[in-house]
Structure 1
Amino acid sequence: MAAGIVNIRRDVDDKFYRYRMPLLLTKIEGKGNGIKTVVPNMSDVARALSRPPTYPTKFFGCELGAQTSFDEKNDRYIVNGAHDATKLRELLDVFIEKFVLCKSCKNPETDLIITKQEEIIRDCKACGERTGVDMRHKLTTFILKNPPKTSKKGKKKGGADSPSNGAHAEAATPPIDGEFDGESDDELTKRIKAEAADLNADSKLAKEDWSVDTSEEAVKARTKAAESLMANLALGDDDDDDDDANSPYKQLGFWAQDNRDAGPVEIYKKAEELGIAKKHKSVQVLVQSLFDEDIVKQIAANAPLFKKMVTSEKHQKSLLGGVERLVGMTYPELIPSVPKILMAFYQADVLDEEVVTQWGTHVSKKYVDKETSKKVRKASEPFLKWLEEADDDDSDDE
């Protein structure tokens, strides 16, 4: 691989660390007074940080006392003078610390918000804290004059998109109870409908599949699923009320199973009403209750809900645990479909490559018995191989 991949926080020595970026590359061009340093993969690095590529380039100029230039159309980002890659990588670490990482939890999953008072805030999607940046730094003047552009979040993986593709929205409103990112219910409903329509042509089919079938076979299938949900809703961790028939998780599970066609907004509202919308265990419950034999089709229609609720590595692992229980215990005939299921969640921007790879190579008894865990992971091998080959293809392209 020409550029290599490193942890966004290079002080974190964990090969399974969720947040990754390409290793910054440099190329010296010209000579004499016209010598300059080009950063050929600045766009890829910046995309992984969810920042415009002009920000770290300008930061280098501020720190080095050098002029910078940008040709966004031709994807060229230049710092005047000769600067080796090691120096710029060290400066990138400083930029990440000052303008990307949450000051509270040190997570890079932040948006930059410009307030009415022209202060720049890091809004953390991981812990919810809002922390300011040092407004004395020269880069802040550039950011105020060139605020982040509002744009749709791109896919984290696949094709030309790299992790955390796309700039975060400018001046995003903080999440409010009962809403997605501060939007009104009407606005949210419109947005989710629009997103769901774009996700997959099969989404309409998925919704039709949820129409009530009163045949004897269908009734038996629903009864089987309900009994399985009650029996298999053990969550594999330390919640004291999981065994209680009235636990909020079981309430959510049975409600979602009976209201599959309610739509992402109403399902999320129900989880909020029960006080568990942000709990990672809720994700597992919803996987077990919203899906049946047609899970591959149904994922597309529910993608906006899971994109909203899956906000950390722990949430992703819980989702995978739900998949294990669904295909391993409720619908074992679905085990051969595990690669398609994983692909659907991956393409919906819900699962990250690193998390799936780690899950697929480590048998666990947390959600199912060891033998079932082995079977599910064995079935996932074609998808894991595809991920590996996709990485190899990216390396060749570079």
Structure 2
Amino acid sequence: MPVMTTKIEGRGNGIKTVIPNMDEVAKALSRLPTYPTKFFGIELGAQTTMANDRYIVNGAHQADRLRELLDVFIEKFVLCPSCKNPETVLLVNEKKEEITRDCKACGAQTMLDMRHKLTTYILKNPPAGSTGKKGKKGSKGAADAGAPKKDKYAEAEELREAQLAGTNLPTIGGGTASPANGNGAAAEEDDDDVAKGFNNPAVANRKLTDDDWAVDTSAEAVAARMKNLAVNVDGFAGGLGDEDDDGEGAGDTKYTAFGAWIEENKEDATDAEIAAKAKEMEVWGKHKACIELGQKLWRDDLVKDVEKRVKILGVMTTNEKAQKSLLGGIEKYFGNDHPELIPQLPKILMALYQADVLEEEVITTWGTHVSKKYVDKETSKKVRKSAEPFLKWLEEADESDDDDEDDE
């Protein structure tokens, strides 16, 4: 089994732990990748997302902790209690609501602990060919009645291979799903298919229940979630979107008006009032609003301003596009409005980085790519030149981390 790897993404309430190689880990265990992922969520009390071959546990979780939980999962749901061999397959009896491990090494069949919450999920989402339903007289299963009886171990091996291959995986609401997905959920239509009215029966007939942990990623479901998503800033709650749905150059007037309001009220306005004004002007959750924040939010002491405004900055820069826009506004502030303050740029970048407003990759990419999107090219070069002390510090910190890992 490969060593399970993790990657922490996002920040604040949106922070999550991604498991990039969950497919490979699960395949080595002859289990669907949704099973260990769901197990992590149950044990950690966290929500999980399992769609489009991405396996995510909400919150920041260290790799060592998840590996410990994986060992527990293997002990409870993989290893044969009799011989401790991991080469087992799950047999699901939906009628009796029982799940047993069939060991192809010693032939023992042992029941799982049905008190664990994961067994409920497995019953609803059994692996391929695991239900073992026998055909009744006159039914489709009767066609095999005259066939030679297979050796028990051969049957177990075939079942294991089928589960590894992920063929004919059951959907959440019945039927079968595409093996390309490999996560027990029906394949979703892409945007073009939706636009053309393409209808996938496996998706259309699927029924989600409160116990299902798979996330519906259809365009309609995403739109509904975004509509209901709320961000609380000092008592203010408002929907936060990830994208600017204005066309190129459209709606610039409202952003200019928002920036003018920020500049006029930055001394006394609270974060909640800024958020409320952004909502009122229909720029809340739009990346272009971050340009105005980056250019108009600052007063005399920029580092203290970051400390004061870390909450509103954090909730309005939840994606890479918004962070780039904030840096664009900062370029305009130092490059065009206050070139005399440009020596302070490394300090404000450090403050924004340490406050988790800006991610390292975004800052590094910005620092190495001169652009004339927000200021002229020469000014852009000058701004990035002044940021070199901080960019060098970031690079050296990375090299130091790499050296520490090598020493270990």
TM-score by length of 1: 0.49
Greater RCO, 1 or 2 (C-alpha within 8 Å, sep 6+): 1
Larger radius of gyration: 2
